[in-house]
Structure 1
Amino acid sequence: MKHGRIWAAVLACALLFTGCAGGGDTSANAPSTPMEEAFAGRDMTLSVRLMAVGDNLIHDVIYQQAAARGSGGYHDFGPVYRQIAPIVAKADIAVINQEVPVASDLYPLSSYPAFNSPKELAGQVEGLGFNVVSYANNHMYDKGSAGLAESKRVFDALPSVTVAGIYERGSYDDIPIREENGIRFAFLSYMEMTNVGSSGDTCGIYLKDEETIRRQMELARQQADFIVVNVHWGAEGSDTPNAYQKEEAQKLADWGADLILGHHPHVLQPIAELTAADGRQVPVIYSLGNFVSAQKGNYNMAGGFLDCTVVLDMKTGETRVEGLSFIPTVTQFGSRFSNLHIVPFADWSESQAAAHGLAGNGFSYQFVKRQLENTFGNYLKTGA
């Protein structure tokens, strides 16, 4: 996309280097414009490494283990995420789908079907390096509008975090914007459904509200260089995107999305690259699966990081995605979900698979390897 903001920045840089728009060297060897003079011999691109993960789905066994590691009521989730922390650290922007409320100051902790996690989780997610938190999902109203508002308050109190997908009803023109390395990103989040309805003041936006979504896209195009859309959709347990997901993905691309991050099925679904109505190439991962959970299905264990570099060409104001790939992880635990934690697939072994709580029920190292290869093909990479 082209943006007047980019041209203004380029012109400002040109004037900074040349002193003024006129009066420069007019010799035959001199650059012919202030822009060319300012950037002669310079890299005229900006770049941001962006990573994204799926559902941070905190079942009771996970927060119970965190409580046992803490003291004085504090929940220590550190060991759950410790092995993947070096991957997150490589990102300039790291996006996570926070599947459950963190409203423990208002409501008791709870698990499926209506979740509520300790508020300490938020600070530990930020401490890992996740700086964009998406909240539009089917569990966002599990503690009602008040629980959603409290979750936003908890994350908003963290200095490095941008929250997407939570609004005060009717104030949908407030687009979450984050600037990294000179590139401005808009973060929008939508959901197909919620398990619990809410009529409160704090809310999310459903995919069916197309008028609101198209207006947000227009506003985001005016304010940002690159639009990231998180979307909660599809059928739980399905490793294949359905017709609705594909139709909605194409709409979002046509309306202005530059990258689409899918959630909700709790299993991985493929990456595709769509052609938008204006000719842009728009990557979509239909489901990032579970980042962490205590689900019991063989296909629920694999998750990981969508990894890419967003590049802004300062000459043209156009953005593009380079190096699109997927870095896989596995949720590892023993019997009865003991010692539950995430392991990079590159560090996961046959012996760990054999000791997994699901081993002996068709789950194995080769099972996960095949799942990853069949889902991502050439996009798959094991190292960060």
Structure 2
Amino acid sequence: MVLLLVAAMALPPSWTLVLGGDLMLNGIRPGSGPLEHVGGYLTRADAAIVHLEIPLTRSQARTALKTQEELRARTQFILKADPAHARHLAEVGIDAVSLACNHQMDFGPKGLAECMDALSRSGIGLAGAGADASEAFRPARVPLHRGGAIAMASVLSFVGDRANRKAAPATGRTPGVAAWSFGGTVSGAARETIRRTVADCRKLAPFVLLAIHTGLEKRDTPTAYQIALGRACVDEGADLVVMHHPHVLQGAELYRGKPILYSVGNLVSPLPGTTALFHLRFREGGTLERFAVTPCRISGGRVAPMPAKDARAAAARFDGLCRTLAKRFPHPESVPMSSRFEPESAASAILGHAP
């Protein structure tokens, strides 16, 4: 029995992961194929993980946590999308989604339950929200297509407690999202919380991914809190840290040998924009071997890879974001991802392993 358990926990000698940003499916019609042009990249990876920013629900019961004054001032938004999108997400190859964010409870417990049910029925793993805190903090075990699995925990962690409360954190008795309320400081107590989260993940799989919803919207440079939090997660045992909330791309670093992506932007949205898919290839022990980006453009509620000329320029911009991050937040155990790995490497060089 012990040997069988060890075998089930083992990772392949080499395996690949594709990461994408926020799924902003509000206003996008089901059946319109918002992700069909990137599905080939998603299905060829051993696992594809993205962030679901809004609930998939038909509920009309809007949250009372976001006031009419805030909505009129456009300092808060209430968003949702049709649950029928879940089938499309599965068809294009998405294996798991992170849920912890400031919109997942926009339509209350009913909206969350409908969303989680739609994802589960479509075979998509999830983490970051639930009927109570225990379920919300429960990591997802994400099987790899070639055997083994990784574990993912999803949490929200804004600097201000008020902003965290607006997102409806789960409690011992009420539904909501997983939230770390650290007050913008990564203290010893915060590190212990992170350590426990990593330990819970490690019970499910040898590789731990932490997906964290934090940062400032529309800002292409991480905040000091993002940097401190991301590095603390690695210090406490995480193998990969992925952040979202700014809705734009930010730089990435290799800190103590572990990748931290500070914002992966929007993967799809009703608004036009630029984004990217991130391709990572690891060795069995969790060491990053290769890293590449596929620059993409969002238009008409659909995302597609950029033409080669535009992609080269976009990759160079991402390289610049990584260098800027390194200059503003230097650390002797950190290098910009783009200085050690080629962001313009063809994704096929990473994903083209034999099945």
Deviation of the 1:326 alpha carbon: 1.7
Pick one of 260, 278, 296 that aligns with 1:306.
278
Alignment match of 1:93 (pick from 29, 39, 47): 47
Is 1:182 the counterpart of 2:180? The answer is no
| RMSD between superposed Cα atoms in Å | 3.0
* 2:250 corresponds to: 269
8 Å CA contact 1:102, 1:116 repeated in 2: yes
Secondary structure in structure 2 of the residue aligned to 1:58: coil
- After TM superposition, the structure 1 stretch with the greater mean CA deviation from structure 2, 238-247 or 97-106, is 97-106
Largest Rg, 1 or 2: 1
What is the CA–CA distance in structure 2 between the aligned matches of 1:371 and 1:158, rounded to whole Å? 36
1:56–1:45: structure 2 CA closer, same or farther, 3 Å change rule?
Answer: closer
**Distance in 1 of aligned mates of 2:157 and 2:229:** 10
Q: Percent identity, aligned pairs only?
A: 24
Q: Are positions 1:77 and 2:32 aligned together?
A: yes
Distance 1:122 1:198, change over 3 A: same
How far the C-alpha of 1:171 sits from its partner, in A, is 1.8
Alignment partner, residue 317 of structure 2 = 371
Q: 1:345 Cα shift?
A: 1.7
Q: 1:8 to 1:369 in 2, by over 3 A?
A: closer
Q: Does 1:166 align with 2:129?
A: yes
Mapped contact 2:57–2:114 kept (Cα < 8 A): yes
* Deviations, residues 337-371 of structure 1 (Å, cap 9, x unaligned): xx44212023676xxxxxxxxxxxxxxx9985653
Pairing 1:53–2:20 present: yes
Specify every segment of 5 or more residues in structure 2 that has no aligned partner in the other structure, as ranges.
63-73, 159-163, 183-189, 323-337, 348-355
CA offset digits 1:38-85 (Å, max 9, x no partner): xxxxxx95222100100111232x3xxx2xxxxxxxx3131x222212
After TM superposition, give the deviation of residue 379 of structure 1 in Å.
4.0
**What are the ranges of 5 or more consecutive residues in structure 1 without an aligned counterpart?**
14-43, 67-74, 276-280, 313-317, 333-338, 350-364
1:155 to 119, 122, 130: 119
Superposition TM-score, scaled by structure 1 size: 0.70
Residue in 1 that maps onto 2:307: 346
* TM-score for both structures, normalised by structure 2: 0.75
| Number of the residue aligned with 2:66 | none
Q: Please list, as runs of the form range in 1=range in 2, the aligned pairs for 1:178-217 lying within 5 A after superposition.
A: 178-180=142-144, 181-193=146-158, 194=164, 195-197=166-168, 201-208=174-181, 210=190, 212-217=193-198
Checking the alignment, whether the CA contact within 8 Å between 1:307 and 1:325 is kept in structure 2 is yes
2:343 counterpart of 1:380: yes
Partner of 1:326: 293
2:37 partner SS: helix
2:207 and 2:286 in contact (8 A); partners too: yes
Deviations along 1:139-194, one digit per CA (max 9) or x if unpaired, are: 111112332222111111112x1111123324257432123233221110111245
Identify if the C-alpha distance between structure 1 residues 153 and 368 changes in structure 2 by more than 3 Å, giving closer, same or farther.
Answer: same
Q: Structure 1 141/379 Cα, relative in aligned 2: closer, same or farther at 3 Å?
A: farther
Equivalent residue for 1:289? 265
Query: When the two structures are aligned, how many residues end up with a matched partner?
Result: 299
